[in-house]
Chain A
C-alpha cells in the first residue's frame, strides 16, 4: 500500500494584470472591489493595525501616568521586565501552558476528528455538543472547573474519595507548580480542543475515500492507514489547529486568574500584562509585554507551520 502523498509544488501565481494582447491597452482600473473591501480594511487598520503600531512604538517609551513625564527609554521596559522575578516566573509558566496545551489539544483533536469522521448515529448531535466548551467564555469555564478542582468541596475529590482512590481530600491548585499548571491547562485544553477537532475534521473530509479503499485492498491495518494516509493528508489542518492552540495558550488569562489568582505557581504572562498595565498603570512595560507575546506567537506559529504544514495534492 502506498498512498501518493507528496509535497505539492508551489501554487502558481495568478497572472499579473498585463496589457490586452489584441488591443495593447491596459484594462481599466476597477474601483469596485477596492470600494467593497474598504470598510473592512478600514476597520482592521483602525481597530487592529493602528493600535498594534502604537503598542510597537510605545513599548520603547516610558508611559506611566503616575510618574510623569513620559519619554523614550529604548529597551528600558524590556530590561525591567526581565528583572522582575514574578514576570520571569510567569514566562516559565506560560511556556508550560503552551507545551501542555498544544500537545494535548492536538492529540485529542486528531483522535476526536478521526472518530467523528466515521458515520454513526448521533454524530451531528455529538459535534454540536463538542463545540460547546469552545463557545463558553474562559471565566465561566474557570468558575465551573473550580467546583471540580476545589480542595474542600470539589467534585473530583469527592469522586476519588468515594472510589477509595484517595483517603483524604487533595489540594490540586496552588501547592505544586507543575501540578497547578497542568490542572489549569486541562481546563483550557477542554476549551480549545473542539476547534482543533473541527479543523482537523475539515482536513480529513478532503481525503478521498478511494485512498482508504486502496489501502484496505493492499492489506493495510488501521494503524498503518492512520499513519500513512490520515496524518500526512491532514497535516494542513493539524498545523492550523496547532497554531490556534499556540495563540490561545500563549494568551491564557481567564483560567489561571480565576483558578489560581496571582500566585506564582500558575500566573501567566498575560496576567502579568494586566497587572502591570491596569493595576500598576505602567503602560509602557505593559506594551513591552504585549509586544513580546506577539513576537513569540508569530515565531512559534511560523516554526509550527514550517515543521508541520505540508501542502497536499489530491
Chain B
C-alpha cells in the first residue's frame, strides 16, 4: 500500500515537473536573436495566405536545395496579427511570410523584416517586377512581389454594346456617360459596381478613382492632397457617393465588400462594370461557366483618366523574411525559387492544371506573364501584361507608417457619406483631418 502511495506521489511530482517544463518551453518562445545562414538540411516554415504549391514542385525544390518546407496556410487578418505578435515578443513563427504593401511603412520603421537586398539581387529582380516599388520604404525593399494583383477596370462589353456603346471609354467623363446610357437603355438598372462596406476594398477603390481623376492621395510628407473640390480625391469621392445615390450602383452595395460579394454581381451580370476590379478575375471567375453568366463578355480596359487612360495602381502581395526567422538565408532561397519566372508561369497554369498553385492569381514577373500569355492559358493575357508593365504604387514614397489608421478613416467616412449620415465635404474633411493629425505625429 505504502509503495503504491509513493509511486502515486512520484507520478504526481513527475507530472508537475513536466508541466513546469512545458510552461518554461512555451514561455521562452523562440530565437529572435538573429538566424542561421545554414541552407542545407534545415526546415523552414512558410506562413502564407493560400494553400501550398503542388507537392511535386515543392518536393523538387526540397530535393535540389536540401531545405524542407513546412507550409502554414493562414488567412490575411490572422497572419498580420501573428506577424505583429511574433515581432513584438521577439518570437519565431515563420521564416518567410506575407509583406503587405500597405504595411511596408510600419515594417520598415519597426525593422521587423530583413531588407531583401541582404539576400537577393533586388535590382535585377525589379527590372522584371514592376511592382517592386510597392514594397519599398525609405529606399529599402522589404518584400518581393509574390503576385501581380493590381486594380483594373473591367467592363461587360456585351451589355455596353447592347446599350449602343461601341468604343470603350478612355476618360472618366465618357465612362460615366456610358454607364448612364447603359442604365437609361434598361440594359442594367445598376451598371456600376462599388463595394461600399467600410473595409479596405473601399479605400483602394477610392485611391484608384483618385488616380483616374488625375489626383494623388498623399504627398511625400503624408499631407492630404484631396481637400480642394477641384482635386482628384475630392472628385473621386463625390463621383462614388453620387453613383450610389443616383442609382448607378446597387443600393445593396452599401454593405458589399470587394471580395466575393462584389465580384459575384459582375459574374451574374447584375452590374456592367467594376471600375476597380482585381486583375485576373476575367480568367478565374467571369469566364468560368460554373460560376458566371457573362462568360467571354467581360474585358479589361485601360483605366479611364481625366483626359485619356492612366496607369493602374498596384495592390500586390509580397513575401519577405521576418527578423525572427531561424533560417533567413534558406528562406531567401525559397523566395528566389517561388518567384522565379518558370514557377510563377507554372503556378498560374502555363504548364497545365497539375502544376497550378491553388488561388495563385497572376505572376509578378513580366517574363512569367509573357510565358503564360504565350501558353494561351491566361484570358486577355496581352492586355494584362501591358497594364502590369505600367502599374504604379498607391503611394510613390511608400505607404506611411500610419496607413492602417488612414485607410480606416477613408473607408468609414466614405461609407458614412454613401449612407447619407454625412456629406462628401464632411467625409473628405474628416479623412484629411486624420491624415494631418497622423502625419504630424499626434
A interface, CB within 8 angstroms of B = 31-32, 35-36, 38-40, 42-43, 46-47, 65-67, 86, 146, 150-154, 169, 171, 173-175, 259-265, 274-275, 277-281, 283
Contact = CB atoms under 8 A, between A and B. Distances in A.
B408 A262 contact: yes
B441 interface: yes
6 contacts: A39-B20, A171-B255, A264-B416, A275-B404, A277-B84, A279-B404
A152 B402 CA distance: 34
B109 interface: yes
B41 interface: no
Nearest to B409: A86
A18 B246 CA distance: 83
Contacts of A47: 23, 26
Nearest to A143: B260
Contacts of B408: 262, 275, 279
Given A46-B23, A67-B441, A151 B404 contact: no
A39 B18 contact: yes
A263 B414 CA distance: 10
Contacts of A86: 412
A31 B412 contact: no
Interface stretch (B8-16, B57-65, B176-184, B213-221): B8-16
A113 B196 CA distance: 41
Nearest to B105: A66
B27 interface: yes
B19 interface: yes
Contact of A36 (B15, B22, B23, B265): B15
Contacts of B106: 66, 281
B261 interface: yes
**Residue in A32, A151, A274, A281 whose Cβ sees the most chain B Cβ within 10 Å:** A281
A278 B9 contact: no
**Chief secondary structure at chain B's binding surface:** helix
Given A47-B26, A152-B252, A278 B199 contact: no
B261 A278 contact: no
B198 interface: yes
B412 A264 contact: yes
A260 B255 contact: yes
B399 to A, nearest CB: 12
A38 B84 contact: no
Nearest to B416: A264
B170 interface: no
B19 A42 contact: yes
A279 B255 contact: no
Contact of A260 (B15, B109, B198): B198
A64 to B, nearest CB: 11
B217 to A, nearest CB: 18
Nearest to B262: A152
A171 B20 contact: no
B419 interface: yes
Contact of B415 (A150, A154, A174): A174
A283 B412 CA distance: 22
Nearest to A157: B252
A67 B27 CA distance: 27
A135 to B, nearest CB: 20
Interface in B142-170: none
Contact of B12 (A32, A66, A154, A283): A32
Contact of A38 (B19, B257, B402, B415): B19
Nearest to A260: B255
**Residue in B20, B254, B268 whose Cβ sees the most chain A Cβ within 10 Å:** B254
B13 A174 contact: no
B4 to A, nearest CB: 12
Contacts of B401: 66
Contacts of B8: 32
B256 interface: yes
Given A150-B255, A151-B252, A153-B265, 11 more contacts: A32-B8, A39-B20, A43-B22, A151-B255, A151-B256, A152-B252, A153-B252, A154-B252, A261-B411, A262-B411, A280-B405
A278 B15 contact: no
Contacts of B240: none
A268 to B, nearest CB: 13
Interface in B15-63: 15-16, 18-20, 22-23, 26-27
B81 interface: yes
